[in-house]
């Protein structure tokens, strides 16, 4: 009885600690968000620094070159996207009116099939311009975070300089100076590999979408390419969210056929990049169930805002990998896993049975 009571007290203390930590993170989100962005950028750039060191290039020179590339491309991209956002915002009232007209045309076509829909009621419930407004609001919120660009850049520079010593420090902090705990190294390597591969796949997706929309002559194609790149970090539902405003704009600008081709481009690119290329290099064992992806989107969005939504899956993946590294918490990681990880579940059950 006393053992059960102690376990209950321990569980309550852990839950209370988690609530206090989350409340502190939400209160300090203005500081936490730039720091998290810096960590992800540094992890994505770390393999480039390692590759440069193999060719005897000094680490300081490699870091400076990487930062210069980030700054130059970042400024160019920010200028182009900012211009597209301004033009899109100015044209938004016109797009909204055209969308309502096209929406009315669709309702008229439904009437020909004896499907009676109250046009005024449906338009009042389903604002056809809401998805397009959502896209611009998300990018505007992200731009607000990037006003701390100089701070993020400085943190990235210091992180890249300290990257080599971080694993050793973590081992010492966890009382493992002899480097015997392979779970720590596996955790760090898995997180880095996941972020690098996901970033490259997202870049490829954004590039394909941008070229496809440019060929179709869709307005603000660069804006939708950036949106596709960002939302590709959210599997299963991210590509759908990114496609909606581009498809609506194609529908308004060029008609139903262009909207269909635009949607087809998103489907094909995400099928190839997400279901063929990404699993080939990512491997098995990093999957999350669709329910967990959706819940993580809501949770991290509530906790950290727009950046939390974009980083929801990488953050959840870090939690999952961390839970997998310990036998005591591996069962929680299994609850987060997708059906593709069933072989891992069976292996874990065998290990537990053997232990």
Q: How far apart are CA 12 and CA 7, in angstroms?
A: 9
Q: For 13-64, what is each residue's pLDDT tens digit? A: 878 888 888 888 888 887 888 888 888 888 878 888 888 888 888 888 888 8
Q: How far apart are CA 173 and CA 170, in angstroms?
A: 5
Q: For 171-191, what is each residue's pLDDT tens digit? A: 776 666 665 566 666 767 777
Residue 211 clears pLDDT 90, i.e. is over it: yes
Cα separations (Å) of 346 from 186, 215, 335, 351, 355?
Answer: 20, 48, 13, 9, 14
Residue 214: band (very low, low, confident or very high) from pLDDT cuts 50, 70, 90: very high
Residue 341 clears pLDDT 60, i.e. is over it: no
The distance from CA 268 to its chain's CA centroid, rounded to whole angstroms, is: 20
pLDDT of residue 207: 92
Residue 352: band (very low, low, confident or very high) from pLDDT cuts 50, 70, 90: very low
The pLDDT > 90 percentage for the chain reads 5
Q: How many CB atoms lie within 10 A of CB 6?
A: 10
């Amino acid at each position: 009885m006393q053992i059960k009571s102690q376990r209950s007290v321990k569980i309550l203390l852990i839950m209370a600690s988690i609530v206090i930590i989350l409340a502190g993170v939400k209160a300090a989100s203005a500081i936490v968000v730039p720091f998290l962005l810096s960590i992800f950028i540094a992890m994505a750039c770390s393999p480039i620094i390692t590759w440069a060191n193999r060719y005897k290039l000094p680490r300081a020179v490699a870091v400076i070159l990487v930062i210069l590339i980030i700054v130059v491309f970042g400024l160019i991209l920010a200028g182009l996207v900012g211009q597209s956002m301004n033009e899109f915002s100015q044209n938004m009232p016109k797009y909204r009116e055209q969308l309502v007209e096209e929406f009315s045309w669709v309702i008229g076509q439904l009437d020909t099939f004896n499907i009676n829909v109250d046009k005024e009621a449906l338009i009042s419930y389903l604002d056809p311009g809401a998805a397009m407004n959502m896209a611009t609001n998300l990018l505007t919120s992200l731009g607000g975070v990037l006003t701390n660009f100089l701070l993020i850049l400085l943190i990235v520079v210091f992180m890249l300089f300290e990257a080599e010593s971080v694993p050793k420090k973590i081992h010492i902090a966890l009382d493992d100076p002899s480097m015997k705990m392979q779970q720590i190294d596996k955790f760090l390597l898995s997180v880095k590999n996941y972020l690098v591969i996901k970033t490259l796949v997202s870049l490829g997706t954004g590039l394909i979408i941008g070229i496809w929309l440019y060929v179709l002559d869709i307005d603000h194609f660069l804006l939708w390419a950036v949106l596709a790149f960002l939302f590709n970090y959210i599997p299963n539902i991210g590509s759908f969210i990114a496609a909606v405003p581009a498809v609506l704009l194609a529908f308004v600008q060029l008609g139903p056929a262009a909207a269909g081709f635009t949607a087809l481009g998103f489907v094909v690119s995400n099928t190839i990049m997400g279901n063929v290329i990404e699993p080939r290099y990512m491997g098995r064992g990093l999957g999350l169930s669709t329910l967990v992806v959706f819940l993580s989107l809501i949770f991290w969005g509530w906790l950290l805002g727009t950046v939390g939504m974009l980083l929801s899956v990488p953050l959840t993946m870090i939690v999952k990998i961390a839970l997998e590294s310990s036998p005591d918490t591996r069962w929680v990681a299994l609850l987060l896993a997708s059906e593709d990880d069933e072989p891992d579940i069976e292996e874990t059950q065998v290990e537990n049975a053997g232990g």
